[in-house]
Structure 1
Amino acid sequence: MRSAYGVETVRAAERALMARLPEGALMQRAAAGLAAACADLLGRVYGSRVVLLVGSGDNGGDALYAGARLARRGAGVTAVLLTPERAHAGGLAALRRAGGVVGAAGSAEEALLRADLVVDGIVGIGGKGGLRPEAARLVETVRRSRAAVVAVDLPSGVEADTGEVRGAAVRADLTVTFGTYKPGLLVDPAREHAGVVRLVDIGLELPAEAELEALQHADVARLLPVPAAESDKYRRGVVGIAAGSARYPGAAVLAVAGALRGGAGAVRYVGPAAEAVIARFPETLVSDRGPAKAGRVQAWVTGPGAGDDAATVAEVLASEVPVLLDADGLRLAERDAVRARTAPTLMTPHAGEAAALLGVAREEVEGARLAAVRELAAVYRATVLLKGSTTLVADAAGGAVRVNATGTGWLATAGSGDVLSGLAGSLLASGLAARDAGSVAAYLHGLAGRFAAEGAPAGAHDVADRIPSAWRDVRR
């Protein structure tokens, strides 16, 4: 599992470690890892042209010491100091001893445009509010160059704790981060500025409870439901799907498609699209008596393609089993009805739906995804899965937010969310907690999207068909 910690937690761990180490030892550890990553990216260090963008903080010191190491290996290293009077004195002296040179920010354009590698040490993890004009001009020059870009700990211009980007920001090919991941490296919009992220262990001792965590194959494999020898379809769990309408029968079909591949032993369908569902999936248990009389289920999914059927959504919310709310269900559900539930509720909005629920602009949600998912979870007293390029899952009780980035841009297709809802609902019915069900579903759905697309457009039904492949890939 990848764990991410906020700025104050990281700084406290750094202070505790520095108190036990010789002066400067921690920075040397970071610089050694940074220099090694730069050398790997360059391939051939000798004769390469390296430009360091150096701010006043420890990130600037890391860049200077790493630059000194590269200079000793034959690179031509130029340091551009944004605040010369506040540059790290030890790092600057080390660079000069190794043969590096110092240039002024005002004359940096030529060096940047000729560089093979640019090292971004402008702003550290405490940077907020965007870059100053001089730094922003340098970032624009870097954008026009052909140089590879390595960010020190975090790309300058992105916020470490929130993943927000306010104005100009460095777009790195590689970010070398120290001690632990920071939330901004895992959450968009900042994540797309980080490029590949390389973690350098510098010996930090961090709390067991992270602020953000990203599941990996092994974590998901441990959570996947596996039937025992004595299992039957009912013991494995039954998921109810109350979805679809005369106008949107396909939403019901796709939700059932996801549910059938999600680990539950059976799927019950209630709604006006029964004929379309049975035609595609004859194993579905169909009822026309409404959710309350459809038969026993261990979880419900409601909302996909529901149109204006508020009565069915309300009936499902009144049940005493876990409920997944998606699409029209998010619009039709009464907030107080969701808040009053004692059984788990999993809400799965995209940014536009989240914005409507919070009463803000969509851009506000997209720019501050962590804040939005946490607020929604608190307001609705529910687990919230906020869909997007990085999917976030937050619990009303707080704790670490889960982040998932297994998907692909090709998943932005009609019906893809319906498949995700059925998959997550099936995992709920098989016994997973809402946070785990949402996290595992997002992970498998993202992998299935990759497998279905393979670099080309894919439909939602293709994604559903590849869920078993994703499941097997995780189990391997």
Structure 2
Amino acid sequence: MRTAYSVETVRTAERELMATLPDGALMQRAAAGLAAACADLLGRVYGRRVVLLVGSGDNGGDALYAGARLARRGAAVTAVLLSPERAHSGGLAALRRAGGLAVKADSGDDVISRISHADLVLDGIVGIGGKGGLRPDAARLAGAAHRSRAAVVAVDLPSGVEAGSGEVLGEAVRADLTVTFGTHKPGLLIDPARELAGSVRLVPIGLELPVEPELEALQHADVAGLLPSPGAESDKYRRGVVGIAAGSARYPGAAVLAVAGALRGGAGAVRYVGPADAAVISRFPEALVSDRGPHKAGRVQAWVTGPGAGDDAATVAEVLAEDVPVLLDADGLRLADRDAVRARTAPTLMTPHAGEAAALLGVQRAEVEGARLSAVRELAARYDATVLLKGSTTLVADPGGGAVRVNATGTAWLATAGSGDVLSGLAGSLLASGLPAKDAGSAAAYLHGLAGRYAADGAPAGAHDIAAAIPAAWRDVRDAGV
């Protein structure tokens, strides 16, 4: 599992560690890891041209010391100083002793030319305390690096992004590689900042961090430990029964796709209620179809409601009144009464995309997309429910706080009609098997993302293809946990 911690937590851990080490030792650890990552990226260091973009903080010091190490290995290293009078004096002296050159950022076209002809540009402009995007002089250098043929390496995180939230509030560096120290920062795991970080390499520096992180990113082995596995005495009822109350005369396909996801999610049986019964039973004869409504459909361990529901508020309200876990998606998010959701004693899992989340919060979609972490936390608190916020990075938050789960297994090809219906059925099935809402949402997002990759394989895929690829994703994850 990858974890990320807040800026305040990281700074506290750094101060505590520095108090036990000789002066400058922690920066040297970071610089050594940074230089090694740059050398790996370059392949051959001798004769390479390296440009350091150096700000006034510790990130600038890390860049200077790393540049000195590269210079000693034969690289031609130039440090571009944005605040020459405030550059890290020890790092600057080390660079010069190693044969490196330092120039001022306002030296004119020569600076841009050096960046344009570099093999590698090291971004040490600002660190985890940076706010509000790059200033114009720094943005000019970052733009030149982006236009060049050089590999761009960010020190700890790309300058200009918000370390604690993943927001990008102005101009920022776009890195090919980010070398981060001690722990991941939230901005490296959450879009839109994650997209600017490129590949991320973690360099351990000895930080002692709390048990409870701010973010968790599950990996194969973590998800394998969550997935249900039937035992010798299992039957279809012991494995869990999931109810699907979805679809309408206008949107029967939503019901079919939700059932498709549910059948592949580990539950022993799927009950369907709704007006798309003929479409469901013709596609999935193993589904248990009823036309008597949720209350009379038979025993279930969890319900999914909302996909393709149209204006059927009565069915959504009936499902919310059930004393079992409920997954609320799509039209159900619009039709559900907030007080009814908050009044539930059984778990509720809401699965909005950014547009639906914006409508629930009363803000513009762009505000949710730009501040995903705060949006998912606010929704979870407002509805007293677990919230899975869909997107390029999916976030899962519990109403009581704690670590937010982040998932990035997906692909842009998942942005296709009906994909979310498959996810709803899959997560609902995991709820019915007994997983807590946060685990069910996290595992479902992980499997759904992998299935999207397998189904697309670099080409367009439909939602039915994604559902069909879930077993392959499940087996891949399960085998990693053996």
Fold-level match, TM-score > 0.5? yes
How many angstroms apart in 2 are the aligned matches of 1:184 and 1:52? 22
Amino acid at match of 2:302: A
How many angstroms apart in 2 are the aligned matches of 1:138 and 1:46? 25
Residue of structure 1 in register with 2:46 after alignment: 46
Aligned partner of 1:178 among 171, 174, 181: 181
1:136 aligns with 2:144: no
Aligned partner of 2:373 among 357, 370, 381: 370
Q: RMSD of the alignment, in Å? A: 0.4
Residue of structure 2 in register with 1:211 after alignment: 214
Helix, strand or coil for the counterpart of 2:201? strand
How many angstroms apart in 2 are the aligned matches of 1:196 and 1:420? 27
Give runs of aligned pairs for residues 99-114 of structure 1, distance below 5 A: 99-107=99-107, 108-114=111-117
- The number of residues matched between the two structures is 476
Aligned partner of 1:379 among 373, 379, 382: 382
How many angstroms apart in 2 are the aligned matches of 1:344 and 1:406? 25
Aligned partner of 1:342 among 341, 345, 369: 345
- Shift of residue 410, structure 1, vs aligned partner: 0.2
1:276 aligns with 2:299: no
Helix, strand or coil for the counterpart of 1:466? helix
How many angstroms apart in 2 are the aligned matches of 1:55 and 1:189? 23
Give runs of aligned pairs for residues 313-462 of structure 1, distance below 5 A: 313-462=316-465
- Deviant stretches of 4+, over 6 Å: none
Which sections of structure 2, spanning at least 5 residues, go unmatched?
none
Q: Percent identity?
A: 86
Amino acid at match of 1:424: A
Deviation per CA, 1:85-139: give whole Å up to 9, x if none: 0000000000000000011112310100010000000000011111111111111
Residue of structure 2 in register with 1:32 after alignment: 32
Aligned partner of 1:226 among 217, 229, 241: 229
Residue of structure 1 in register with 2:474 after alignment: 471
How many angstroms apart in 2 are the aligned matches of 1:93 and 1:336? 63
How many angstroms apart in 2 are the aligned matches of 1:55 and 1:186? 24
Instruction: Normalising by structure 2, report the TM-score.
Output: 0.98
- Shift of residue 141, structure 1, vs aligned partner: 1.1
1:190 aligns with 2:193: yes
1:160 aligns with 2:150: no
1:239 aligns with 2:259: no
How many angstroms apart in 2 are the aligned matches of 1:88 and 1:380? 48
Which sections of structure 1, spanning at least 5 residues, go unmatched?
none
Residue of structure 2 in register with 1:64 after alignment: 64
How many angstroms apart in 2 are the aligned matches of 1:228 and 1:120? 53
Amino acid at match of 1:48: R
How many angstroms apart in 2 are the aligned matches of 1:207 and 1:392? 21
Instruction: Normalising by structure 1, report the TM-score.
Output: 1.00
Helix, strand or coil for the counterpart of 2:236? coil
1:311 aligns with 2:314: yes
Residue of structure 1 in register with 2:77 after alignment: 77
How many angstroms apart in 2 are the aligned matches of 1:397 and 1:423? 24
How many angstroms apart in 1 are the aligned matches of 2:149 and 2:377? 39
Amino acid at match of 2:74: G
- Shift of residue 309, structure 1, vs aligned partner: 0.2
Helix, strand or coil for the counterpart of 1:223? coil
Residue of structure 1 in register with 2:7 after alignment: 7
- Shift of residue 144, structure 1, vs aligned partner: 1.2
How many angstroms apart in 2 are the aligned matches of 1:102 and 1:156? 20
How many angstroms apart in 1 are the aligned matches of 2:262 and 2:219? 22
Helix, strand or coil for the counterpart of 1:269? strand
Amino acid at match of 1:143: H
How many angstroms apart in 2 are the aligned matches of 1:211 and 1:122? 25
- Shift of residue 296, structure 1, vs aligned partner: 0.4
